[in-house]
Chain A
Amino acid sequence: MTAAALTIPAGSTEGSDFVPWLVVAQMAAPALALAAIGVPAILGRPLAERTTTRLVGAGFATAFATAIAMLVILAARGFPAEIVHLGTWFAVGHHEATIDLVADGLSVPYVCFSTGLCLLVNAFAGKYLHREPGFTRFFVLLTVFGLGMNLMVLAGSIDVLFAGWEFIGISSMLLIGFFHERPNAVQAAMRAFITYRICDAGILVAGVVVHGAVGSGDFDRLFHGPWPDARCLVSPVIAAVVAVLMIFAALGKTAQVPFSGWLPRAMEGPTPSSAIFYGALSIHAGAYVLLRCEPLLDAAPAVGWLLIAIGGATALHASVVGRVQTDLKSMLAYGSMMQAGLIFVEIGLGWRVIPLLHVVSHAVLRSLQILRSPSALHDRHALVAALGGPPGGARSLADALPPAWRAAAYRVALERGYEDMVVMRFVVEPFRRVVERIDAAERAWTTWLGELRLRGPRDRGRRP
């Protein structure tokens, strides 16, 4: 991106108005907040807690206000797709990485909702993490996440989308491992990062395929028109390949089977980050990307069935396993996973607005539940003490099963559907053993070579 490219060229949008500037402000506000708290921290002069929360709050409040303004302007116009071209980030020959952002009926409502949630969580975390040693670190990561969310949601090209996607993944991993002195938190963070990294290969390859197919990463070369009525512009084969790769990428972030094992463990992070990441925004990032790429799914109907199968399997798995969880946050994590599975099914069925409404409503409810969970436990203990025992439980659907079936389902649920066992025994362990053997052989060879001495005749005579 050159300095000249940062200026918004006239006529780059469908109407010359405030929308491009609002989109730029949407990006700049969290970025400036990040710089304002991150630079002093890296220079060894972290800001005071109150200053930190105010700066981050100001960043998210500005972003939220600009998002609302965009929503009002676009709603008045009937939600056209306004593409804001901020220039070319870098280019070599015909290969161009452009900074294109899009404000339309999908991105603007979503960005209102995401910045609003970030603002609320910022206010909550300022109190919740008071005097926590990693206070500044939390807010730096929250701002990185907010910036990544804005980039991903407003992305008008696959390059920008990938950049936002990576920021979300990195901040998510670091917040899961926030309490790094706990071995469980470190393991959970590593597990989440490995899952993300494997699945990110999907979006990376998709990006390259898109560049190869249409000569640019811009979405308007793949599909055209305002959301939700955009039309696919590429051949069904290309559409199917890109859609499958996007689904693969979405499986990791959205914790779908067989990549769902990381989500319950991710609750090792601080409650505010659990709420915004695994109750609200990060868990739905995959669903958002699929909603953005819906024209590709329409062009390749078979891929929709794949999505329905994966989402359905995940919803069933999470529903069964979630019932036997003994801690509240794990139960909520499985609840999130189940809803995300259902959203996948809805997208696979070709619905547009219903999955978006489902995402927003589920995210709001779930983040409230997670934020409330520490005090809910306290209230529950008070209730149990007042009643002199636990209150009577409601009947569940499982009660209708025959006892033998119920016992079998219970065992399966306790073992989390054997998903972890299968992955560890048949994938991770054999892989690790092979790599360790290769490494051991290499070490042995290096040791042998290091001991090998090339002696002359005189040296040989001196040897004792």
Chain B
Amino acid sequence: MSSGVDPSSLLAACGITVGSPLLAAAAVRLRWWPDAPRRVALTGLVAALLAAASMPLCRDPGAGATEFGGRLGGGAMVSVDGVTMVMLPFVAACLALVIGTAPRRSLDERSTQWFLLGAAATFALFVTAHPVLIVLLGAATALPVWRATRDTPGGRPAARVYAYTIGVSLCGLAIGTTMMLADPPWERGCGWVGTTGGWIVALAVIVREGIFPFHFWCPALFSAAPLPTALLATVPQVGSYTALRLLVGHADGVANELVILAQLAPITALYGGLVALVQRDLRRLIGILAFTQSALVLAGLAGTLPMELAGGMALWIASGLSLTGIGIVSAALEGRAGPLRLDLPQGRFWDAPALAAFFLLFGLSGIGMPGTLSFVADDLIVAGSLADHLHGGILVILATMFSGIAVIRGWFGIFGGPTTTDAPRHAILPRERAGLALLLAVIFGIGVVPGPLVTLLERASATLLRERHTPPVNPAPVSPEAVLR
């Protein structure tokens, strides 16, 4: 445990972050406030957000990982480091905004309950580095998504696609992790078991992250699942976190696997950018943009330079915020006017001018517009990729180019064209405007002044890269009881 840490407060913050959505799920399930599932869920998620945001007060942001509980394979049961401190508040904020602004009809008791369980599992995943817990929590994050999709009318085929692909990923993750733990590839004298395990884990990450040719589950999920559920499945990027903990942290032993990831990710991003150009419905377009962005994130994370890692994590945040915004606006539009097609201009601008403005700004913030964090992230990833492997950098540039065109085509497809109304019929609700304006303020705030965040991410990247060259040691675990005593 590093100096400058208040362990009991940190552990309590972790507990509140994971526990409050669970408690909220129980409250929804037991109908403590039967008429207010949104309020209950939002309370739980805001509590989690506050607890996650308080973590930097409990420990020095520049210090190494603070760990509690047993360690295995270099990771402790509860591990809070620079990555956790940045990513956890971001994920909690996105999920709270999704619940706070979701249309009422998508917040029935069952959906809300599954959403909260998924959120709790995601938060728990982000505070652990223990390989076995990562596998188990990876499964726990997928289950609510599958159930909520399956319960949606017409959602069974998409739920099957999701179940098959994510099931394969989880099986691979379990088998590969077991093999890696049995014969750690980062130790000298590693045999074929550890090496094969590393490759299987890399394959599992490829499937979970939606990397080509296993990307298809993402647009399928967006096509059928409730939008809050689809955002729960994609915004936190469980695959990226898994890669960060199980592969990037042990890169000395899995260098070849990371090279393959670094090669496949830009190809996926380019593929996504291309097929996004010809989409005919909005949901599928968002799904494609989601895997395109997550591929770019992985392209950064699988790199070997600090700027690539920092860029990957910055894009993780930027694309998550942008995707959340686009998802909220799309859910609001669908809640008013039904499914949205892109074949012909729908002419919805005067129907919902505020939503049009928000959609455009969130779309631009996801494609590297100056003044937003994605500009910074793209700059770092492209510079790192070109320095690392030239063709990867060129592919990243092409991918962002095509994604940008697809976003603007989508915007004109929904809001352009002859209109049937002279006045807004579907005015934006106050809660939607407040949530979206807050999200926009965050996006532009950290985009105009990215220095502090980039410094945090650089420190986190430096720690990860240092760990690559330092084989993990197993110090005596600190039990929660000892900490509390």
Contacts and interface: CB of A to CB of B under 8 A. Distances in A.
B416 A166 contact: no
A328 interface: no
Given A173-B408, A193-B408, A208 B433 contact: no
B380 A95 contact: yes
A180 B216 contact: no
A197 B409 CA distance: 13
B477 to A, nearest CB: 33
How would you classify the secondary structure of chain A's contact residues: helix, strand, loop or mixed?
A: helix
A260 B476 CA distance: 69
Nearest to B310: A92
Name, among A90, A97, A159, the residue most crowded by chain B CB atoms within 10 Å (CB to CB).
A90
A189 B412 contact: yes
Contact of A197 (B310, B393, B404, B451): B404
A5 interface: yes
Contacts of B394: 205
Interface in A418-464: 432, 435-436, 438-439, 442, 445-447, 449-453
Nearest to B275: A439
A88 B370 contact: no
A14 interface: no
Given A2-B452, A44-B428, A183-B418, A193 B157 contact: no
Nearest to B434: A43
Interface string B376-405: 100110111011000001100110010011
Nearest to B356: A180
B107 interface: no
Contact of B401 (A92, A198, A439): A198
B252 to A, nearest CB: 20
A5 B161 CA distance: 50
A212 B384 CA distance: 10
A384 interface: no
Contacts of B357: 41-42
Nearest to B220: A446
Interface in B391-444: 393-394, 397-398, 401, 404-405, 408-409, 412, 415-419, 428, 433, 437, 440
A208 B368 CA distance: 15
Interface in B216-256: 216, 219-220
Interface string A26-65: 0000000000000001111000000000000000000000
B164 interface: yes
A208 B358 CA distance: 31
B451 A194 contact: no
A110 interface: no
Chain A interface size, under 10 / 10 to 19 / 20 to 34 / 35 or more = 35 or more
Contacts of B433: 43-44
Interface in A182-228: 183, 185-186, 189-190, 193-194, 197-198, 200-201, 204-205, 207-208, 211-212
B160 interface: yes
Contact of B458 (A41, A93, A170, A200): A93
Contacts of A207: 379
A189 B413 CA distance: 12
Contacts of A445: 216
- Which of A159, A164, A177, A197 has the most chain B CB atoms inside 10 A of its CB? A197
A215 to B, nearest CB: 11
Contact of A190 (B368, B397, B412): B412
A450 B408 contact: no
A288 interface: no
B349 A180 contact: yes
B7 interface: no
Given A92-B310, A97-B379, A201-B398, A166 B369 contact: yes
A1 interface: yes
A410 interface: no
Nearest to A165: B370
A162 interface: yes
21 contacts: A1-B448, A2-B452, A5-B451, A41-B357, A43-B437, A90-B376, A166-B370, A177-B412, A189-B412, A190-B409, A193-B405, A200-B401, A204-B397, A212-B386, A432-B277, A449-B164, A450-B158, A450-B160, A450-B161, A450-B220, A451-B157
The 6 A-B residue pairs whose C-beta atoms are closest, nearest first, are A450-B157, A163-B370, A186-B416, A92-B307, A2-B451, A180-B416
Given A181-B350, A212-B386, 14 more contacts: A1-B449, A1-B451, A2-B452, A88-B451, A91-B451, A92-B380, A95-B380, A163-B371, A180-B417, A193-B405, A201-B397, A201-B401, A208-B393, A442-B216
Interface of B: 156-158, 160-161, 164, 216, 219-220, 274-275, 277-279, 305-307, 310-311, 345, 347, 349-350, 354, 357-358, 360-361, 364, 368-371, 375-376, 379-380, 382-384, 386-387, 393-394, 397-398, 401, 404-405, 408-409, 412, 415-419, 428, 433, 437, 440, 448-452, 454, 457-458, 461
